Structure 1
Amino acid sequence: MTTPFRTLVRERRSYRSFLPEPLDDVTLHETLADASWAPSNCNTQPWEVHIVSGAARDRLVAALLEAEETSPPNPDFSFDAAAYTGALGDRRHAQGAAYHEALGVERKDYKKRRSVSVQNLHFFGAPHAAFLFLPQVGDSVRVASDVGMFAQTFLLALAARGLAGVPQTTLGMFADTVRRELGISAESKLLFGISFGRPDTSAAAYRYRSTREPVETLVRMHTQ
């Protein structure tokens, strides 16, 4: 029996703790095949997906940790947390506070907060990580939105199988490192990454759950 969409979309979470066992090849292929049916502008399907597992995963983790210690961020697309002001900033701060509270991390415990942040580069223990690249077309906004639709479809395809994934802007901060380690052309631009696998339901991070605004807050109906 398939999971009703209303249940599926509400139960999907951005898990930040995973079991180490990798997915079998059939499950991985079928999940990606489902995700490939995501819509895109004129059916251009501009997503370029690179997945690391096994030894390749471990080498990339080591390279990312070294880059984080020795090099400044080198994202292909800008990100400025301070640019999120007003309600956007409020939601961003509330999300961070709720996550750290679930982990028992005090706001002023900067050492522990850094150790939590670095888990991004360990893929939160996930056995797989997908890196979503795109070709540069104009200002890239259209192709980036297509990649976003692929990513959401992939996340729902994982959730439908009892699996989980977490989109990570942080992984997009190391575009040169990822390209170098995976042998990817400089013409392909990294948007973000998704760590994925089986969620560790015993972890403190599993208890964290983000909230959503009421429909009326973000949607305006125009009838006349």
Structure 2
Amino acid sequence: MSSTASLFSDLVRARHSPRQFLPTPLSPADIRGVLEDAQTAPSNSNTQPWTVHIVSGAARNALSKELLKAYEDGRTSPDFTGDYGDGVHHERSFQHAALVYGARGVARSDVEGRKEVIRENLRFYDAPHVALLFMPQLGDGVRAGGDIGMYAQNFLLSLTARGLHGIPQAVLGVYADTVRESLGVPGDLKLAFGIAFGTGDQNSPMYDIGMGRIPLHQSVVLHDTPGVLDEHRPLA
């Protein structure tokens, strides 16, 4: 492996999703740099379907307040469904929840404790900034959604390269109308998800709870491509 490939591999594997941030705002130069890196993402026919709202300071606090109120009132308004089915994807989601609640010491029977975990989501884990990723409704949305995912990965890796952190937050998309109303976003833009970002709090037990990944042989099917799965580095 070349040194460049090794550096990139290390960078990708270093990226993780902290669930507690320091409140210190990032510099304008760092935020602009991350946005410029994210903007280089590929997209179908170069459509670049992303519209990204960066929310900080008083606007960030006001948005969090409105999200918390919507949660307490039970006012959900998702633009997209979040059904994982009954199979392996549901099981992985269940394991994810067990890790998150377990790291916070919240038992499955602790209803109020579990609600507080959701509230921490809607406070953006104390991150000083949040990016809201919107997309137009183009066809069935799959291609635009894929483009948004590639943009988001560039965004997250750019943060990692700068010693910073981000965490994708699908829960923000559950309150799409609330976000649109708070930020003045037109209704024809659909909220995919948000990314809370800043500097992760390394002293928090929620800094890196080690989600892990399934082994390659469970997700990759090889056709006349021998030897690929003979050796591999463990996925963190």
TM-score for the superposition, normalised by structure 2:
0.90
Name the counterpart of 2:75: 72
- Tell me the CA shift for residue 207 of structure 1: 4.0
Check conservation: 1:13, 1:164, Cα contact below 8 A: yes
Partner Cα separation in structure 1 for residue 11 and residue 39 of structure 2 = 18
Partner Cα separation in structure 2 for residue 183 and residue 207 of structure 1 = 34
CA change 1:93–1:26 in 2 (3 A) is: same
For 2:44, the aligned partner's letter is: N
- Tell me the CA shift for residue 90 of structure 1: 1.6
Partner Cα separation in structure 1 for residue 108 and residue 78 of structure 2 = 27
TM-score for the superposition, normalised by structure 1:
0.95
Name the counterpart of 1:162: 163
Task: Please say if 1:179 is aligned against 2:180.
Answer: yes
Runs of at least 5 residues in structure 2 that lack an aligned partner in the other structure: 226-236
Q: Which residue, 33, 44, 49 being the options, matches 1:46? A: 49
Partner Cα separation in structure 2 for residue 36 and residue 100 of structure 1 = 34
Partner Cα separation in structure 1 for residue 208 and residue 192 of structure 2 = 28
Give the % identical residues.
Answer: 48
For 2:33, the aligned partner's letter is: E
Written as runs of structure 1 = structure 2, the 5 A alignment for 1:179-198 is 179-198=180-199
Write the deviation string for residues 15-47 of structure 1: whole angstroms up to 9, x where unpaired: 110000000101100111011111101111110
Name the counterpart of 1:216: 217
Partner Cα separation in structure 1 for residue 208 and residue 159 of structure 2 = 19
Partner Cα separation in structure 2 for residue 165 and residue 207 of structure 1 = 12
Task: Please say if 1:26 is aligned against 2:6.
Answer: no
Partner Cα separation in structure 1 for residue 216 and residue 147 of structure 2 = 23
- Tell me the CA shift for residue 72 of structure 1: 2.5
Partner Cα separation in structure 1 for residue 148 and residue 73 of structure 2 = 30
Task: Determine helix, strand or coil for the equivalent of 1:205.
Answer: coil
Q: Which residue, 16, 19, 22 being the options, matches 1:16? A: 19
Written as runs of structure 1 = structure 2, the 5 A alignment for 1:77-96 is 77-80=80-83, 83-96=84-97
Write the deviation string for residues 154-181 of structure 1: whole angstroms up to 9, x where unpaired: 0011011111111111000111111111
Task: Determine helix, strand or coil for the equivalent of 2:214.
Answer: coil
Write the deviation string for residues 198-224 of structure 1: whole angstroms up to 9, x where unpaired: 000111111411011111110000129
Check conservation: 2:17, 2:208, Cα contact below 8 A: no
Task: Please say if 1:56 is aligned against 2:59.
Answer: yes
Write the deviation string for residues 118-159 of structure 1: whole angstroms up to 9, x where unpaired: 111100000000000001111111111101110011001101
For 2:89, the aligned partner's letter is: L
Name the counterpart of 2:120: 119
Partner Cα separation in structure 1 for residue 12 and residue 46 of structure 2 = 24
Write the deviation string for residues 82-123 of structure 1: whole angstroms up to 9, x where unpaired: x43222122111111112222222221121111112111100
- Tell me the CA shift for residue 14 of structure 1: 1.2
Partner Cα separation in structure 2 for residue 124 and residue 73 of structure 1 = 20
Partner Cα separation in structure 2 for residue 89 and residue 71 of structure 1 = 23
Runs of at least 5 residues in structure 1 that lack an aligned partner in the other structure: none
Between Structure 1 and Structure 2, the one with more helix by share is: 1
Check conservation: 1:102, 1:207, Cα contact below 8 A: no
Partner Cα separation in structure 2 for residue 13 and residue 39 of structure 1 = 22
Q: Which moved more, 1:16-25 or 1:199-208?
A: 199-208
Check conservation: 1:137, 1:143, Cα contact below 8 A: yes
For 1:13, the aligned partner's letter is: H
